[in-house]
């Protein structure tokens, strides 16, 4: 029989890196957790894994270390050796019951026969949130925000978890796109409530950096100083230079490997405006059919979009849009 406290811990683990599986030689399943042996500051995480052993002793736990082949994980440096701690319980029908709630069959993939899902009856507690954050949370203390990596779940499931965070714990959050998937973003408004809520449960030195409330910088972080900045001042100046040369926004975005939306916000003065490179867009009359034909003819003769816009009397973005449709 599993206690309420143990169920809260398992729930937090399954929202993160934990899984329920079988080696196919036994009809009964087991609960498994894997953690990198050391954190980014080279602090050993063994005490965290041993905590699970102490909490689930009656389920027959074991821990071991496993070396990871870098070739299997593209994000890792192939020159280094990586190790993980692996926590397992013994096989038990309890895990079979939970597996039916947390997984469904998958027929659209040749190797992975099932996919993890979010049970509709799930309820979040501070302890569940703590384990979830330790497993799959990223803390950005300078700007006071937290990201929970939920890219393995569907958009609807992520929205459901956001709703549960608000209802069960009073934590405000929203979904954040990540290459077609979504993670949960907890902003400054709920950051300190989030940390205060889970702090009593965190007894492990290896995760103290996920409780940081001291390095928060109340001053606005602009430009390269912003922790989430993907561009340098030099690159931003290049964006204006490319635009003046007549390049389209999507061409600039592709060249610098960022989104077209970012380019538009920079050129519109909504980002990096402190550089003094903002543009004032003057509303001009709609372009008539005759002018559209003239724009196309001028472009074919090799004139830049900026000069075409000056000649016809419209915005450069209008010229770009007309040429794209042509």
Residue 282 is predicted with a pLDDT of 43
Residue 73 is predicted with a pLDDT of 45
3-state secondary structure 142-173: CCCEEEECCCCCCHHHHHHHHHHHHHHHCCCC
* pTM passes above 0.75: no
Q: Rounded to whole angstroms, how far apart are CA atoms 226 and 202?
A: 28
Q: Rounded to whole angstroms, how far apart are CA atoms 270 and 272?
A: 7
CATH 3.10.28.10 is held by the domain 4-211: yes
Inter-CA distances, 19 with 2, 46, 95, 286, Å = 17, 19, 10, 59
What is the pLDDT tens value at each position of the chain, 326 positions in all? 899 999 999 999 999 989 998 876 778 999 999 998 988 778 899 999 999 999 999 999 999 998 876 654 445 555 666 789 999 999 999 999 999 999 998 777 666 678 999 999 999 999 999 999 999 999 999 889 999 999 999 999 999 999 999 999 999 999 988 888 999 999 999 999 999 999 999 989 899 999 999 988 776 666 666 656 667 888 888 888 888 888 888 888 888 888 888 888 888 877 877 776 545 444 456 677 878 888 888 888 888 888 888 888 887 878 888 888 76
């Amino acid at each position: 029989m599993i206690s309420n406290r143990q169920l809260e811990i398992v729930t937090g683990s399954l929202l993160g890196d934990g899984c329920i599986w079988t080696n196919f030689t036994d009809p009964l399943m087991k609960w498994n957790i894997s953690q990198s042996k050391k954190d980014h500051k080279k602090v050993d995480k063994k005490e965290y894994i041993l905590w699970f052993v102490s909490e689930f002793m009656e389920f027959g736990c074991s821990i071991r270390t496993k070396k990871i082949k870098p070739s299997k994980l593209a994000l890792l440096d192939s020159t280094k050796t990586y190790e993980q701690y692996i926590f397992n319980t013994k096989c038990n029908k309890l895990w079979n019951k939970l597996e039916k709630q947390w997984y469904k069959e998958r027929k659209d993939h040749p190797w992975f026969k099932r996919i993890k899902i979010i049970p509709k009856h799930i309820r979040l507690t501070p302890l569940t949130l703590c384990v979830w954050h330790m497993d799959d949370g990223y803390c950005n203390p300078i700007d006071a925000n937290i990201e929970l990596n939920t890219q393995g779940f569907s958009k609807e499931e992520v929205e459901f978890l956001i709703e549960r965070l608000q209802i069960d714990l009073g934590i405000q959050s929203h979904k954040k796109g990540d290459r077609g998937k979504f993670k949960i973003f907890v902003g400054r408004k709920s950051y300190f409530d989030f940390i205060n809520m889970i702090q009593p449960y965190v007894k492990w030195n290896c995760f103290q950096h996920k409780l940081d409330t001291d390095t928060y910088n109340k001053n606005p972080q602009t430009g390269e100083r912003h922790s989430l900045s993907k561009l340098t001042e030099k690159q931003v100046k290049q964006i204006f230079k490319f635009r003046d040369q007549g390049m389209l926004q999507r061409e600039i975005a592709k060249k610098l490997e960022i989104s077209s939306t970012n380019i538009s916000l920079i050129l519109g003065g909504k980002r990096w405006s402190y550089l003094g490179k903002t543009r004032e867009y003057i509303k001009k009359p709609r372009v008539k059919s005759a002018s559209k034909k003239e724009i196309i003819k001028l472009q074919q003769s090799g004139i830049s979009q900026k000069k075409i816009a000056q000649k016809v009397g419209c915005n450069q973005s209008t010229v770009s849009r007309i040429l794209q449709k042509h």
